[in-house]
């Protein structure tokens, strides 16, 4: 209980810190939302400064932060200049979409990388090991965006799956079953891209820690006792090797939000990514800050899950953990 309380306190402090630094950063960044209007010769500077005043952008930083805090307490999280509406409802719908994409991608990632990692660690220098190492080097070295565009280009040529969006235009008219099919087909490419990019990293970590675990004396001993190989691998070695992998999982949960940002943009997935990226580039301050707060929340949640799993998987930490509390 104390542990949960501590985490909660940390989360609140974190959110306060993030919001304060967000305001500071946005203050430092040059340019404002209305800059694009300056390029339109038909709009006068007076109109632009009137608009700035209208949205309170001419106020000092402290005043704006105070106003924003008040709005955050009302669960509005500020006001989007571009959309002319409170930030929270804008973010909410898209958060759901992002979660759908990222959790699916996460499941697939672990589904791919755990068996592969275990297999390659057990049969080191084998053909599969070499292939996986090479493939993961390739995926890690090429920027995610290039991989995404390449996958989409293949999909365009072979008409494999819808290359963008979350649903077909006539989605509302479909039956429940076809709706699910439609959604799955649209999920295919973004999930594939995310899972491939993420697996390349995770498989490396699982392999490395499995190698370490398999070389540990107690595994040799267990082998000597004649414990079945599969049980040895998945029951003993894997749980010992899980540590960095679980720490990574915490990130995957949180990091997929930022990781999926570019993929969402390229695939036209209606998640937080395109919204936040566009808001950043157009200096729609409160929308950016709101988006960052949302992802900070996920970060806290993801790390909490990871820490709890560390406790659950690693008996040694568990002992220490109970001592500490």
Partner 1 sequence: MKLIAHLTLHVCLLAGICFAAAPAPEAAKPGEELARDADVSGQYGGHLTIGQRSEPKTLNPVTATDAVSREVIGRLMADLIDINRSTQQTEPALAKSWKMSADGKTFTLQLRKGIRFSDGYPFDADDVLFSFKVYMDEAVDSPQRDLLIIDGKPMQVTKLDQYTVRFVLPRPYAAGERLFDGLAMLPRHLLEKPYREGHFAQTWGLNVAPGEIAGLGPFRLKQYTPGQQIVVERNPYYWKVDAENRRLPYLDELAFLFVGTEDAQVMRFEAGETDMISRLSAENYNLLVREKSRMDSQLADMGPSLEYNFLLFNLNDLSGKKLDEVARKQTWFRDLKFRQAISAAVDRESIVRLVYGSRGAALWGNVGPGNKLWVDQNLPHPQRSLETARQLLKSAGYSWNPAGLLVDAAGRPVEFSIVTSSSNSQRMKMATLVQDDLSHLGMQVHVVPLEFRAMIDRIFQTFDYDTAIMGLGGGDADPNPEMNVWTFNGTSHLWHLNETEPATAWERELDQLMQQQMVTLDYAKRKQLYDRAQQLISDNLPFVFLGTPNILAGANVRVGNFHPAVLDPYTLWNADELYVRSSAPQNAGVR
Partner 2 sequence: MRTKTLALVAVIVGLHLVLLFAGFFAPYDAASQNRDQPYAPPTRLHFINASGFHLRPFVYAWTANTSSNQPGAYSETRSVEYPLHFFVRGSSYKLVGIYETSLHLFGVDEPGRIFLWGTDGYGRDEFSRVLYGGQISVAAGITATLIALLLGCILGVIAGYYGRWVDESLMGVTELFLSLPWLYFLLGLRAFLPLHLSAIETFFLLTGVIGMIGWARPARLIRGLVLSLRSRNYVLAARGFGASDFYVLRRHILPETFGLLLTQAALLVPRYIAAEVMLSFFGLGVTEPIPSWGNMLGALQQYSILVSYAWLLAPAGALVVTSVLYSSLADVFHSRLESSLT
Whether 286 and 271 have beta carbons less than 8 Å apart is answered as no
Q: How far is it, in rounded angstroms, from Cα 79 to Cα 190?
A: 30
CB under 5 to 8 A by kind: which of partner 1, partner 2, none does 35 bind?
Answer: partner 1
Rounded to 5 degrees, what are φ and ψ at 68? -65, -40
Q: Which is nearer to partner 2, 69 or 139 (CB)?
A: 139
Q: How far is it, in rounded angstroms, from Cα 26 to Cα 64?
A: 12
Q: Which of 242, 297, 203, 278 is nearest to 12 (CA)?
A: 297
Q: At a CB cut-off of 8 Å and minimum separation 6, what does 211 contact?
A: 121, 124
Tell me if 84 contacts partner 1 by CB under 8 A: yes
Cβ 50 to partner 2 shortest distance, Å: 25
Tell me if 290 contacts partner 1 by CB under 8 A: no
* Residue in 2, 39, 62, 324 binding partner 1, rule: CB under 8 A: 39
Tell me if 176 contacts partner 1 by CB under 8 A: no
Q: Which is nearer to partner 2, 7 or 179 (CB)?
A: 7
CA gyration radius, the chain: 24
Cβ 246 to partner 1 shortest distance, Å: 32
Rounded to 5 degrees, what are φ and ψ at 232? -60, -50
Cβ-based neighbour number of residue 20 at 10 Å: 13
Cβ 73 to partner 1 shortest distance, Å: 21
Whether 263 and 194 have beta carbons less than 8 Å apart is answered as yes
Tell me which stretch binds partner 2 (CB under 8 A): 12-20, 34-42, 46-54, 80-88: 12-20
Going residue by residue from 29 to 58, which x/- string records binding to partner 2, judged by CB under 8 A? xxx---------------------------
Tell me if 285 contacts partner 1 by CB under 8 A: no
* Residue in 8, 153, 221, 230 binding partner 2, rule: CB under 8 A: 153
Tell me if 248 contacts partner 2 by CB under 8 A: yes
């Amino acid at each position: 209980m104390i542990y949960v309380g501590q985490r909660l306190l940390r989360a609140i402090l974190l959110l306060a810190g993030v919001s304060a630094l967000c305001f500071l950063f946005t203050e430092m960044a040059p340019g404002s939302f209305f800059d694009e209007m300056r390029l339109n010769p038909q709009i006068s500077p007076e109109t632009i400064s009137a608009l700035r005043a209208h949205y309170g952008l001419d106020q000092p930083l402290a005043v704006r932060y105070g106003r924003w805090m008040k709005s955050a307490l009302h669960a509005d999280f500020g006001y989007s200049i571009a959309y002319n509406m409170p930030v929270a409802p804008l973010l909410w719908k898209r958060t759901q979409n992002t979660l759908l994409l990222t959790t699916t991608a996460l499941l697939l990632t672990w589904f791919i990388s755990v068996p592969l990692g275990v297999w390659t660690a057990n049969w080191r220098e084998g053909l599969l090991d070499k292939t996986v190492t090479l493939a993961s080097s390739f995926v890690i070295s090429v920027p995610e965006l290039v991989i995404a565009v390449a996958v989409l280009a293949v999909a365009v040529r072979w008409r494999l799956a819808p290359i963008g969006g979350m649903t077909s235009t006539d989605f509302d008219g479909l039956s429940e079953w076809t709706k699910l099919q439609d959604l799955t087909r649209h999920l295919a490419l973004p999930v594939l891209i995310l899972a491939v990019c993420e697996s390349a990293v995770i498989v490396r970590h699982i392999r490395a820690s499995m190698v370490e675990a398999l070389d540990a004396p107690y595994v040799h001993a267990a082998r000597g006792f004649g414990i079945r190989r599969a049980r040895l691998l998945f029951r003993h070695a894997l749980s010992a090797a899980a540590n960095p992998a679980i720490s990574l999982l915490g990130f995957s949960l949180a990091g997929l939000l930022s990781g999926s940002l570019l993929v969402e943009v390229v695939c036209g997935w209606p998640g937080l990514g395109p919204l936040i990226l566009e808001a950043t580039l157009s200096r729609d301050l409160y929308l950016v800050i709101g988006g960052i707060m949302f992802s900070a929340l996920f970060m806290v949640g993801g790390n909490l899950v990871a820490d709890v799993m560390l406790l659950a998987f690693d008996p040694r930490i568990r002992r220490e953990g109970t001592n500490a509390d």
